[in-house]
Structure 1
Amino acid sequence: MGKVAIYARVSTIEKQDYKRQISDCKTAIGNLYTEDNIEIFAEQISGYKENEARPQLSKLLSIIENDATYFSKIYCTEISRLGRDPRATRSLIDNLTDKKIPIFITSINKQTLDENGERDSTMNIILQVLMEFADSESKTMKKRSKSGLLQSVINGNAGGSKNLPYGYTKDENKKLIIDDEEAEIIKEIFNLYKQGNGFKAIANILNFKEVPTRTQKAFGNQLMKYKTEKTADKVTWTDVAIDKIIKNSIYYGQRRFKGNLYPAPAIIEEQLFRECNEITATKTHRNYLTTYTYLLKDLLICGCCGRNYFAKFKPVEGGDKVYICSSRLIKGGNCGNIGVNISLLESAIYEEFISSGRLANYIQMNKVDIFEELKTKISTLEIDLKIAQSDVAKKENEKKRLLDLYLADKIDSNAFEKKQSEINQSEFELTTKIDLLKEEIFQNKKILDKQSDKQTTTQMLIDAKDNRTELKTLFNQFISRIIINKLDAKTVLASVFITYGGKEIGHPIKLFLNIRGLISRPMKYEYISAIGIDYRPIYRRNILLNNPAKLLLEVEEKKIVYDPLGEIDDFLIINIPSENLIIIENTYPISKKS
C-alpha cells in the first residue's frame, strides 16, 4: 500500500491552528491507510505566498518531483488551503493532475481525478468557482480586518497584543490607558535625552536601575527568538528601544496607524517631544570628550524654521565661534537665518540678568524646582559615573585576557599591538569621561549647597561667572527657550523666555544684539535692552510670525545711548563691561592621546 499526504495551512492572522484540518482529513481517510502511511505537512503562512516560500508545501512538492508515485493521494479540507491566488492554485492542481495524483477536498467530499485517474470535468468547474470565491473571500476579510483595526484605534482600544507601547496598559473595557508607573519612566527617558544623554547612555541608566522592559513584564521567562535565543526576563533596555520611544508620537497623544495620526492619552507635552526629535534630527548629543560647556545648548531655536541652534566652535585664530541653525546640516535645507557669536549672546543674557535685578525674584520663586532638578541631575550623573567606572574595569580585564592570549602564542604581535591600542584608546576616553563626570557632580553639588542658603540672590550668578558648568546649570533653571531672528545686517533679536514659578512667562525679554560690533576695533560686545515696547512679537511653534522690521523700527526710534550719570531709560545701548563678558576662548578642550 502506498502513502497519502495531508496538507494543512492556516494564515498568520487566523486565530485557530491546523489541528482541526488534520483531524478532518484523517476522518476522511478512515481505515484506508494506517498512521505509518500518512505523512502530514502543516504550516502557518499566507496562502498568497509562492510555493517556494511555503516550506511545508515546498517539501511536499519536492518529494513528488523526485518520485511521482510516492503519494497516491493528497488530502486537504478546502481548496483555499492549497492557495489563495486562483492562477497559482490552478497551476498547482494541473501539475498534480498531470502526474496522476488526485487531491481530495474533504469539505465537498470530492477529488480532482475520477475513478479512471482522469481529470474530472465537473470537479474542474467546481474547483475554479471555489478558487475564485476563496480569493474574493480573503480580500474581503482583509478589508474588514483593516477597517476593524482602524475603528478600534479610533475608539481608543488597546488591541490584543501583550506588547503595548511602554507607558500604556488597557482597562477592563480594553481601552488604551496610561500606566502611571511606566509613564514616569517615559518622562524620565525624554528628560534625560533633552539634557544631552544619548540613547545608549539612557539604556545603561535604566538597566543600572533595574527598570523592567516591556518584554520582561509581558513574557516573563518565556523563550524569545532573537539573533541569539534568550528568555524574556533577560531582555534589557537597548539604544534601539530608546530611539523608538523618542520617535513615537503616541507619547504626546498622537497614535500612528497606517501613516495617519489618531488621538491617544498623552504622557508628555508636545513641546518636549518636538525638542527631543529636533535633537535627534541634528545629532547634537552631549559628548563628554568635547569639553566645551555651551551655556545655551538645547535652549536656542530658529525663529525662521523652528529648528534648534547648535554650537560650532573651532579653537583657532579666525575659527567659528557661533550658534547656528541646524538647518545648515541638511543638504539644501538652509533656512537663511543668521549665526550669532557665542560669547556675545551668552554675555548679553548674563549682563541682563546681573544688571536688571529681575533674576533675584526668579531664583526665589524657583528655589524648590531647582532643588529637585539638581538632585535628579546629580543622581543621573552618579549613575553615569558608576557605569563608566564599571566599563574601565572591564577594559582592564580585556587587557589581561589579551596578554594571556599573546603569551600563549594564540595571537601574533601585530594583532596583539593593534588590539591593545584599541583598548588603551577606549580606556583613555572612559577615564576622561570619568574625570569630567566627577567635576560636573562636584559643581552641581556646590550649587545644591547654595540653594539651601536663604540669602541666595543673583550673587550666585556673579560667583559662577568663570565656571561654565555651574553657570549653564543656573541658566537652565530660568530660561525655557531662546528664539533667534535676524532683523537686519547688524541686528539679531534674541527673545529670551523665562520660567517663573514653574511656568513660562508669556512675553520674553527682548535683546537686540549688535553683531557688527564684533568686527570693529576695539571689539564691542553691545546690545539694546528693550524692557517694554508697544509692538510685541507673535510666535507660533517657535517661529516669529509678524513683521520683525516693524519691531526694529520702533527700537531704533526710541533707543538712547546709555549714560551712567544720566537717567536709565527703557531702551539702552549697553556695552557689556569686561568683568561680565563670558568669553568661550578662555576654555580649552581635552585632546585625545595618540
Structure 2
Amino acid sequence: MVKTNYNISMAIDIFVKERIMKTCIYARKSTNNLGQKETLQNQIDLCKYKSKEFGLEIVDIKTDTGTGTDDNNRPEVKELIDDAINGKYQCVIMKGISRFYRDTEKGLALIKLLDRYGIRVITIEENFDSREQRTGTGKLDTSRITMYLMFAEMESKKTADRVKFQQMESARKGVWTHGKPPFGYRRNDDSKKLEIVEHEAEVIRYIFELYSQGYGVRTITLILNGENNEKKVYLAPVNTWKHDTVTYALNNRTYAGDIIYNQRSSRENLFKKNHKLKMDKRDSWKGLTKNKKQDWVIADDAHPAIIDRELYDSVQRMLKTKSSNRGIKRNFSLFAGIGKCGVCGSGLTLKKMKINKKAPRQSYYYCVKYTKYGKNFCSNHRIEEGQLEKVVLENLKSLHSNPDILKQFMEDKYSKIEDRLKNKKNDQEKIRLRITELTKKVDLLLEKNLNGDITDLQFNKMNQKYSVELDELTSKLEKTVVVNESEGKENSKNENFLRAKKALEKVTDYDKMDKEEKRVLLIDLVKSVTLISEDTESIKIDIEYNFEL
C-alpha cells in the first residue's frame, strides 16, 4: 500500500513538471540614460515575481539594448522568436506590450507568429494572456491587445513629436542640439551656444582660403598633412586630414554662423539586397534619410562665424559648379550651368553655327534638349554669345552704378519673402486648429469606448482614421514652420544691401579680366539666366542674382 502511494506521488510530480512552461523574460530599455539600467532590472524582477504566480519556470532572459529602434532587425527580438520556435521555451513574459513593440501592425504580427507556434505571450501591465484571450472557436482574440498597441504607438509618436518640436525650437533660438560641435567650435555650457576655438578656427579659415584660390580638395588635404614648403602638419579633428573631412568642412554651413536642423529624419527602408545579406525580403532598416530643403529649420547668425558670408557663399558656388562637372578651367562657356531654357527648363549649350552663307560662324546658346532631340521636344530659339554677355553685364553695371535700382530690386525680393511667410503663418494656424479639434475627438472616442458606448471594432476604425489625419497634419505643420524674423530687420536689410553693393564693385574691372576671371565673377553674382522665348525673333532674358537676403 505504501509502495502504491509512492508511485502515485512520483506520477503526479512528473505530470506537474511536464505542465510547467519553460519561459523567457523579455525586457527592453528605451533610452541610453543611466536610469534605464534600473528600469531594466525592475522589469526583470516584476516578471520573475509574476512568473511564480503563473507557475512558470524562467529559463532565459532577453534584454534588448537596441534603443530607439522599432524595426524587425533587433537581434534580441529575432533571437527570442528563433529560440521559441525551436522549442527552447513555451512562454514569453514581459512587463508591458510597449516594451515589445510600439507599432500596432508589427506588434500584432509578432504575437500572432508566436501564437501559431503555440508560444504563450503574457504582458503584465495589460493583463494579457494569449492562452486565456481566445474566441469561441479557439482562435487568438486580438481586439484587446490591438487597442493597447495602438495606445502605445500613439504615445510614442506624441513623445517623438514633442521632442522634435523642442529641438526645432532650440535650433531657431540658436541653441546647439546636434551633439559634438564641428572642428573649430566648442559648446558653451551656460548659453548652450557655439563659441570659436581660435587655434582650430585658423585651420578652417586656411582651408576656405586655399579652395577659393583654386586648390582642389585632394591638394588641400596633402598640404594640411605636411606636403607644403614649411613641412607643417596642421591640427586635424582626428589624427590626420582626409578628403572627406576637408569636403565636409567646405560644405558645413555652421562655419558661416548658421544652424540647420531637420536635414535628415529617421525612416524605415527595405534592404536593397536582402538575399546577399542573408535576410528575409521583408527585413528593413531604420536610418537617417535626407529631407527636402524646404523642410529644414534654419537659424541664421546663431553663433559667431569662422568664415564670413561672402567667402562661404563663393566657395559653395564653386563646389556646386565642380560637382556638376562644370569646372572653370575645363569649360570656357561663360554661362555653363547658369543659362536655362525658359520653355522646357533644360540648360543651354554653346555651339558654333553659320546662320547664313554670308555671315561668319558665331557661337550661339541653344536649348540642350532641342540640340539633342529636335523640335518635337523644344523650340529652335538661340542667342549669340556676345549679345547675352552684353545684356547680363549691362544689368550688373546698372545695379552697381544706381543704388536706387539695387534697393528697389532687393525690396521686391523682400516683399515676395514676406508674402510667403504670411501665407505660411495662416496655413500653420489652420493646421493647429484642426489638430486641436481631432485631439478632442480622439479623447471623446476613447471615453466612449471605455464606457461601453462603442465597440472595440468601432473604436479601432475611427481611431485609425483620426490617427492617419493627425500624422498628415503633423507632417504639414513641420513643413510650414516659420522661422522667427530677427528684431533688427532694418539692420539686416542694410547689411544685405551693403554686401550686394560690395560684390558688384568687381564689375568695374570686368573688361580687364580674362575669360576664366569673368566666369568666376559671373558664378559669384548670377544664379541663373533664363531665355524665355518660342522663337529667335522675340527673346526675353530673365536674370536671377546670388544676392542673399
Normalised by the length of structure 2, the TM-score is 0.48
Structure 1 or 2, whichever has the larger Rg, is 1
